[in-house]
């Protein structure tokens, strides 16, 4: 017969590594892309079992039923909405050290690690992080609340992270983060950074993105 099912795998989602692109174009501004991101990645989880209790022997029949099963994940979970901003509150992307924002507030460095940095950069669509630090560096920090604390991640994937929306932090513990990779961001009509579930103009390295080959 079948063994018990094993543990669910980490939540998998579409990755930037599956994409191709061009840095030249034949587009007009009427083809600029506007995008609204979900608060969580969404994806699937799988788990398996083996026909080993006992295994078929001496011509016996195989186990009845499926050896694996899957389910959707992160669909109903309320997730942080991350972005990076400069000292004036304007959006920045890959390659720039920015103040890490979550739902309009800041992130405290309690339990923050390189795993946390990689997981958050990947959640924002980058392949990983280049560096992170914390401190009271910019005037803008004093006017912003801290909305996320205790971001503890066992790997570089957001599905491995836990966090708290309450905190015991000061501005000297605000996280600054620099992500690696292609520089994407979303901005509103006055150029301010927006996060998940907000419709924004899609930016790449200071310019807009054309809709050629766009798929829903």
| Close Cβ partners of 131 (under 8 Å, ≥ 6 residues apart) | 97, 117, 177, 178
| Close Cβ partners of 29 (under 8 Å, ≥ 6 residues apart) | 208
Average pLDDT over residues 88-102: 92
172 compared with 181, residue with greater pLDDT: 172
Structure token digits, residue 194: 């927006």
The gap from C-alpha 43 to its chain's centroid, in whole angstroms, comes to 12
Residue 54, burial from CB neighbour count under 10 angstroms (0-12, 13-18, 19+): exposed
16 compared with 19, residue with greater pLDDT: 19
- Residue 57 confidence class, pLDDT cut points 50, 70, 90: confident
Could you give the 3-state DSSP secondary structure of residue 170?
coil
Task: Give the number of other Cβ atoms within 10 Å of residue 205's Cβ.
Answer: 13
Beta-bridged to residue 73, according to DSSP, are 43
pLDDT at 68: 92
The region of weakest confidence among 6-10, 29-33, 35-39, 203-207 is 35-39
154 compared with 43, residue with greater pLDDT: 154
Q: What are phi and psi of 210, to 5 degrees?
A: -80, 150
Tell me the CA end-to-end span of the chain in Å, nearest whole number.
43
pLDDT at 66: 92
pLDDT at 97: 96
Whether the pLDDT of residue 136 is over 90: the answer is yes
pLDDT at 204: 76
106 compared with 215, residue with greater pLDDT: 106
Whether the pLDDT of residue 158 is over 90: the answer is no
pLDDT at 193: 75
pLDDT at 8: 81
Kindly calculate the radius of gyration of the chain based on its CA atoms and give it in whole angstroms.
Answer: 21
Structure token digits, residue 110: 């309690």
CA 133, 122, 195: angle at the middle one, nearest 5?
Answer: 85
- What does the alpha-carbon distance between residue 164 and residue 102 come to, in Å, rounded to a whole number? 12
pLDDT at 76: 46
Average pLDDT over residues 96-108: 95
Q: Tokens 């958050």 sit at which residue? A: 120
Q: Tokens 């004093």 sit at which residue? A: 142
Whether the pLDDT of residue 92 is over 80: the answer is yes
pLDDT at 20: 81
- What does the alpha-carbon distance between residue 64 and residue 136 come to, in Å, rounded to a whole number? 61
């Amino acid at each position: 017969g079948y063994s018990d099912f094993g543990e669910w795998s980490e939540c998998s989602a579409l990755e930037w590594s599956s994409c191709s692109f061009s840095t030249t174009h034949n587009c007009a501004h009427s083809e600029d892309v506007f995008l609204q991101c979900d608060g969580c990645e969404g994806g699937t989880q799988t788990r398996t079992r083996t026909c080993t209790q006992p295994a078929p022997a001496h011509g016996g029949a195989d186990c009845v039923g499926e050896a694996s099963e899957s389910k959707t994940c992160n669909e109903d979970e309320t997730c942080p909405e991350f972005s990076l901003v400069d000292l004036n509150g304007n959006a920045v992307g890959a390659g720039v050290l920015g103040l890490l924002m979550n739902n309009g507030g800041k992130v405290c460095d309690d339990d923050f690690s390189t795993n946390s940095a990689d997981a958050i950069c990947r959640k924002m669509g980058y392949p990983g992080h280049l560096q992170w630090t914390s401190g009271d560096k910019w005037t803008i920090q004093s006017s912003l609340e801290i909305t996320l604390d205790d971001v503890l991640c066992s790997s570089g994937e957001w599905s491995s992270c836990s966090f708290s929306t309450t905190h015991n932090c000061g501005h000297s513990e605000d996280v600054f983060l620099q992500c690696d990779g292609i520089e994407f961001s979303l901005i509103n009509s006055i150029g301010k950074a927006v996060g998940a579930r907000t419709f924004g103009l899609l930016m790449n390295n200071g310019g807009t993105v054309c809709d050629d080959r766009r798929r829903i």
